[in-house]
Amino acid sequence: MDMARVWPIILQYSVGALLCGLGVWCGIKSGFMDLKQSEGKRLFAIIVGGFLAMLALVCVFTFWLPFIPKEVVQ
User: Is 1's pLDDT higher than 80?
Assistant: no
Instruction: With cut-offs at 50, 70 and 90, classify the pLDDT of residue 71.
Output: confident
**Rounded-to-integer distance, Cα 43 and Cα 47, Å:** 6
Question: Looking at residues 8-12, what average pLDDT do you find?
Answer: 95
Using a cut of 0.95, tell me whether the model's pTM lies above it. no
Cβ(20)–Cβ(51) under 8 Å?
Answer: yes
Q: Where are the domains of the chain?
A: 3-63
The pLDDT value given to residue 8:
94
The pLDDT value given to residue 41:
95
Classify residue 46 by burial, with Cβ atoms within 10 Å: 0-12, 13-18, 19+: exposed
**Rounded-to-integer distance, Cα 37 and Cα 11, Å:** 33
**Rounded-to-integer distance, Cα 6 and Cα 35, Å:** 34
Over residues 19-63, the pLDDT tens digits come to 999 999 999 999 999 999 999 999 999 999 999 999 999 999 999
